[in-house]
Structure 1
């Protein structure tokens, strides 16, 4: 994929670029938003920008892509590219925006590295960028065609359900009365809202209802801020202001954490906190499809009262002929649950050979569960995950 000349130059300059990639991405976003303030207001997540996680994700993806080109010159990192492309498609990213990114990213590289950016270095990294960008454009075009996406669509809220003190479920239907396209269990939609300052902010939320319903359902956890990041603008807006009869803008479903050819293989669904949402949809799909192979359901939360969609979580699992449910709570665990954090090492939790595992929750939780699965002999390729927000775990798998 990468020419031999560029590969040699990238290999030689990668340490310098890698060491400065954090500063480069910081300069890049500063330049980008100065030239195009509408992008910060209406496309990029302002909370992630404030916390710096978007910069980390961009830096990680560029470094990972370049490293992959050097280590595997004949193989494209499709898993990484597909995950990014799904996020981009849900946001409505257009091909011409890659030209804008290129302009400001390479200006930032030149500013940070100065004379080290010789014409040869610039040309080599230019080749890396366009290999990645053009691959994403092709994948995103296919995703748009498959989804029939022609821009966000207005959806009316027909029901609002309080799940816990911090989680609300919204059930929506097309405001124009049109048809509801199907989705694959585990996918998410982008939800766009106009905030009091006039900014249009977009967030992704997993669909938590059963595929095939005439309405769509997504559940939102109110995000509390801290010293690094502010309160979640969109989640708090949805909790405080959106009621039955209101209209929201939704994208078509996207996301690559989907049940793939479950067949007769054992399935393990592990979640924590609001990561339960795609898992409930997956359980609903398995029950509807008559899946009869073993299914292990594992979930961790602060308490039963904090466990969103707990009734659905339990009910869908009960519809499966061979399902085992294991709930872990930090406090107030009952006779049907356990106190403490998720622990797959327990003797009563079976992780069978050829298990296909799906994970969703905070990154430390997923790292811990993945390590436990690997220790039990689950193949790395059979462990799939979803991250809410910028994927700081991107391309770091075995």
Structure 2
């Protein structure tokens, strides 16, 4: 892993780099997009760039990776690397793009830190970068080789279902009439769409049917912006313009939050549109005849906003030992419990494995409650929609 000399240099300079990492990543993206505007137009999420969340995620992952290396010289943070590699593979990131990132990232470091970047410091952080980059390249190569689909494929919308006022389900079949490749419950696909300004933007959506489905099926929530975040470009485009008969480009399925074959008790906790991977997991469990206890927890604004609620209930009922607990901030009477998710009086059997998906505050709160109930940290798995601002903090 990291050489002893570089480890000492990184350890000594990590506070300075960490303190400036936000400025460094901001300068990095400015340089990168000035030199390669096509990357912002056709690869990077413009909404995340505008909100600053992608910059925070990159900064956090670099700092976390470097910290992990100096604290654990014989290991590497595989959880973080796998999560990033799956996202990169879904976007079609290629090995030749890593030198481009290196060029502009290290130019940004030199600009921000100035004379502090001695040749020794530059060499040590270059070693950190290429350890991380080469690990990601290797994992992404494996993912591409394992995939039943190479590159992008055209899929025709065969059905559109209005789940709620803001959520629609799209069901698609391959335009070429070929087979539907397999996947694992909990995985997502990238969807590429052409927008009015000529950009081709890509977003990830969890598959909402169990593996073995003859179609690709995913649900999209229309993202409304606010003072700090723009409207969702792709989600609004899909809601406004995509109907039965239209064609979309989809990647192969990726994602490392997957339902393992296990006889252990399970807890599936979601909030808002985080329900989507849980629906595929629940259907898979019902088809497999999972006999151990399953606890289903969901939090939402109201029953009317609870997308896929009928599926949520139906798949839970099919399981021999399952309970569903729904929390609603509004109109909860007769439909669920009022307020935010609270596991205080929810039974969590010993040996439970938990899967979480939803906003970060929700997942943090649920994780803390599960830990308090004795669930092992290694048995709590999660998925984040968008840049993962949690993983980088917890990897080290």
| TM class, shorter-length | over 0.9
Question: Per-residue CA shift, 1:35-65, capped at 9, x if unaligned?
Answer: 0000000000000000000000000000000
> TM-score, with normalisation over the residues of structure 2?
0.99
CA–CA distance in 2 between the matches of 1:287 and 1:146? 27
Aligned to 2:387: 390
Q: Secondary structure at the match of 2:95?
A: coil
Aligned to 1:47: 47
* 1:352 paired to 2:349: yes
Aligned to 1:370: 367
Size of the aligned set, in residue pairs, is: 395
Aligned to 2:338: 339
CA–CA distance in 1 between the matches of 2:176 and 2:333? 46
Question: Per-residue CA shift, 1:66-101, capped at 9, x if unaligned?
Answer: 000011111111000000000000000000000100
Q: CA deviation at 1:336?
A: 4.3
Q: CA deviation at 1:395?
A: 3.5
Aligned to 1:84: 84
Question: Per-residue CA shift, 1:281-303, capped at 9, x if unaligned?
Answer: 00001111111000000000011
CA–CA distance in 1 between the matches of 2:175 and 2:50? 34
Q: CA deviation at 1:229?
A: 1.4
Question: Per-residue CA shift, 1:164-184, capped at 9, x if unaligned?
Answer: 000000000101111001110
CA–CA distance in 2 between the matches of 1:230 and 1:149? 33
Q: CA deviation at 1:397?
A: 3.2
* 1:171 paired to 2:171: yes
Q: CA deviation at 1:151?
A: 1.0
Aligned to 2:2: 2
> TM-score, with normalisation over the residues of structure 1?
0.98
Matches for 1:1-398 after TM superposition, within 5 Å: 1-262=1-262, 264-346=263-345, 349-397=346-394
Runs of 4+ displaced beyond 4 Å? none
Q: Secondary structure at the match of 2:180?
A: coil
Q: Is the 8 A contact 2:185 2:259 kept in 1?
A: yes
Q: CA deviation at 1:211?
A: 1.4
**Structure 1 unaligned regions, length at least 5:** none
RMSD of Structure 2 on Structure 1 (CA): 0.8
CA–CA distance in 1 between the matches of 2:101 and 2:378? 32
CA–CA distance in 1 between the matches of 2:264 and 2:298? 20
Q: Secondary structure at the match of 2:391?
A: coil
CA–CA distance in 1 between the matches of 2:173 and 2:35? 37
Q: Is the 8 A contact 2:57 2:392 kept in 1?
A: no
CA–CA distance in 2 between the matches of 1:287 and 1:142? 31
Q: Secondary structure at the match of 1:396?
A: helix
CA–CA distance in 2 between the matches of 1:218 and 1:151? 19
CA–CA distance in 2 between the matches of 1:286 and 1:54? 34
CA–CA distance in 1 between the matches of 2:145 and 2:33? 30
Q: CA deviation at 1:261?
A: 2.9
Shift in alpha-carbon separation, 1:354–1:397, aligned structure 2, 3 A: farther
Q: Secondary structure at the match of 2:211?
A: coil
CA–CA distance in 2 between the matches of 1:41 and 1:257? 28
CA–CA distance in 1 between the matches of 2:33 and 2:373? 47
Q: Is the 8 A contact 2:60 2:393 kept in 1?
A: no
Question: Per-residue CA shift, 1:293-345, capped at 9, x if unaligned?
Answer: 00000000011100000000010111100001101101111324111111000
Q: Secondary structure at the match of 2:149?
A: coil
